[in-house]
Amino acid sequence: MRCSFCSVAILAVSIGVGGAGLAQATGGAPSQAVVSSPKAAVNPTEYAGAEACAICHEAEVKGFNNNAHTRLALEHGGKGVTCESCHGPGQAHVESGGDATKIFGFSKAQARLIDDKCLGCHADTHPNFERSAHGEAKVSCTSCHSVHKFATEESLLKVAQPKLCYTCHTDVKPAFAQPFHHKIDEGLMSCSDCHDPHGTFQPNQLRISSTQDAICTKCHVETAGPFVYEHPPIKTEGCTLCHSPHGSPNPRLLKVSNVNTLCLQCHSPSMNFTAPGTPSFHNMANQYQACTVCHVQIHGSNADSSFFK
């Protein structure tokens, strides 16, 4: 039980108790400034200073020394971002002998309060977070990031991608184990190449390419167009109408195994649809079963309305 309490408590405190090493390293005075907070009312007597934190939380200080926030801590002559910038004034916590209720602890705080703390500085880079699927689901910043103990220095992730994402998205991990998949597990790509976990204006937190197309075209540039003869659904419905982006047992990540089936799903005559039906001479027992043998440029063409070339 004590271990559990200890564990949770340290998880809570681990987010922010830590700048003492910085102060020590730079020889700076105990930090009083809270540059990240817009609420300017600061009573210096409520702050204990980072050195005081280090007395009990040495391990967390070690972690903090390695992360990008240390740069901020070095600002203003060593009075930049330190423990109390995130955890709030700590003097009462110190004077109480470490009463966890007298300081802001991240592990037991509501997601919105945690997010407010982080977005106080990072709202400009993550402006959609509160409206994102993660924000709405109360997946707070500290669910994925840790200021003190992280696997990646750049983004302070607790675990590097994609493993971090897989811990919750247990339905996505299997897709990347299928024979045909984007090379996430191999380290060539990361989930955040296509998704912004902090939210975007796109569905599924997808990023968009610099050409304002689906993010797919960032790599698959030849499909971006614009073409004289567009295959219209690609532009209007998106790549995922035909492809399963994470992984598939089917080559080219197609949603169905046979090209002819995929094509016929749309190109069968029917009422109220303008997509042309399959011509009557396309005998499926003959060579016409492999539609893309002839319709090679299926993503669009400048020269042929039938996508032959």
Partner 1 sequence: MMSAFSYLSLLLNFRPRARCGLLAASAIVISAALAADSPALAQDAPQPQAGKVISGYLTHMSTDLGGHIVEHSGSDPMYATLVNIQSGPRILNNFLQMRAVDPAHAIVFDRLSSSSFGYGGDPYNVTNLNFSKGRIYDFYGSFRRNRQYFDYNLLANPLIPPESTPFVPILSSPHLFNTVRRMTDVNIKLAPLSIVSPHFGYFQNVNQGPTNSTLHVGADALLTQNWRVSTDVWNGGIDWKPLARTTISYDQFFTHYKGNTSWQLTGLDYKLSDGTPVSLGINLSSVWNTPCAAPFNPDGTVNPTCNGFLAYSRSAPTRTLFPSEQFHFQSSSIPNVTMNGRVLYMGTTSNLINYNEYFNGLNSRPQDRATETTGSAAARRINVNVDYGITWQVTPTISLNDVFDFWSFRQPATNLFTETSFAGTSMLAPPGAATTTTTSDYQALNQNTKINTLYVAWDAAPRARVSLGYLYSNRRITDAGGDNIPIHSYGALFGLALRPTSEWRINFNVDAIYADNSFTRISPRATQHYRLRTSYNPHPWLSLAGTINILEDRNNVQTVHHLAHDRDFSFAAMINPNEKWGIDLNYAYNSIFSRTDMCYTSTPPVEGAQAQPSPPVCQQAGLPLQTNGYYNQPTQYGSIGFVFNPVKRLHTAAGYRMSAVNGQAPPINIRQVPGSLQSQYQIPYANLAFDLNPNWSWKADYNYYSYGEGTPIGPTLPRSFRGNVYTLGVRYAF
Q: Which of residues 119-178 bind partner 1 (CB under 8 A)?
A: 119-120, 123-124, 127-128, 130-131, 133, 136-139, 146, 149, 151, 153-154, 158-160, 162-164, 166-171, 173-175, 177-178
CA dihedral (247, 249, 254, 259) in degrees, to 10, reads 170
Q: Which of 8, 92, 100, 206 binds partner 1 (CB under 8 A)?
A: 8
Q: Which of 29, 46, 55, 219 binds partner 1 (CB under 8 A)?
A: 219
Which of 94/259 has CB closer to partner 1? 259
Q: Is residue 187 involved in binding partner 1 (CB under 8 A)?
A: yes
Instruction: Tell the residue number behind the tokens 């016929």, with chain if given.
Output: 264
Q: Are 81 and 90 in contact (CB under 8 A)?
A: no
> Which helix (DSSP H) or strand (DSSP E) does residue 62 occupy?
helix 58-65
Q: Which of 55, 95, 99, 110 binds partner 1 (CB under 8 A)?
A: 110
CB of 50 to partner 1, least distance (A): 17
> Which helix (DSSP H) or strand (DSSP E) does residue 117 occupy?
helix 111-122
Q: Is residue 42 involved in binding partner 1 (CB under 8 A)?
A: no
Q: Is residue 272 involved in binding partner 1 (CB under 8 A)?
A: yes
Residue 136 CA to residue 115 CA, distance in Å, equals 11
22 Cβ contact list (under 8 Å, min separation 6): 28, 50, 64, 65, 70, 73, 74, 78, 82
Which of 95/237 has CB closer to partner 1? 237
- CA-nearest of 286, 292, 285, 290 to 306 is 292
Residues from 90 through 109 that contact partner 1 (CB under 8 A): 107-108
CB of 75 to partner 1, least distance (A): 7
